[in-house]
Amino acid sequence: MSSFESLNPLIQDHVKQIAKTSGMPVNPETWELMATAWIEKKNCFEANLEDNDLEELQFFAKDEPRGAIVLTYSGSIINIGPLVDGVRRCEYSSIGIRTDVPVSAVNEASEIANDIEVDSIAEFRKGPIKASSPLYKIAVAKEKMEPEDEAALLTQVSQAVVEDFVEVNKTLVL
């Protein structure tokens, strides 16, 4: 089975959509290359979670005091900081393949519009983006931490993931 065929059909659709906006040829060879990269990015994301003692959740309440790091179906990363005085610092990183979204965006006083969960979009009342693509993984720190320590950990993990994703993107050459 090819890498592309091994993906969930919803992720296959996102790979095809990303191919259309990437500047790469829109064909099965590109889809296969991008699917292989997507799988490698998923593996990098999971390894960073494990290395930093983060655990996956299926559901994250909008008023959850903890922060989270999120991987979307389209391979973007959202760093949702801990809730402090009713707002969160949120950062969105598209990791540079897509040309139809910002490469990165930050809002220091973000508000999540609704509870978020795997396989659904994240919407922001105020945020770095209005809405994400569906969420593939949501992870939080296993240990209770002070908000500033948790924010630092999530930033460190998301930066490491972004760096890993940039390296994977370098393999996307036909």
Q: What does DSSP assign to residue 24?
A: S
d(C-alpha 132, C-alpha 123), whole Å: 7
Give the pLDDT confidence of 73-124 residue by residue, as tens digits.
988 999 999 999 999 999 999 865 655 555 688 999 999 999 999 999 999 9
Rounded CA separation 69/88 (Å): 13
Query: Into how many domains does the chain fold?
Result: 1
Q: Note down the domain range covering 147.
A: 1-174
Q: Supply the Cα-derived Rg of the chain in whole angstroms.
A: 16
β-pair partners for 79: 69, 91
* Contact predicate 135/117, CB 8 Å: yes
Rounded to 5 degrees, φ, ψ at 171 are -85, -5
What distance in Å separates the CA atoms of residue 96 and residue 51, rounded to the nearest whole number? 25
What are phi and psi for residue 42, nearest 5 degrees? -60, -45
Expressed in angstroms, the distance from the first to the final Cα of the chain is 20
Q: How far apart, in Å, are the Cα atoms of 82 and each of 11, 148, 151, 159?
A: 28, 8, 6, 17
Q: What global pTM score does this model have?
A: 0.91
The pLDDT tens digits for 42-85 are 999 999 999 999 999 999 999 999 999 999 998 899 999 999 99
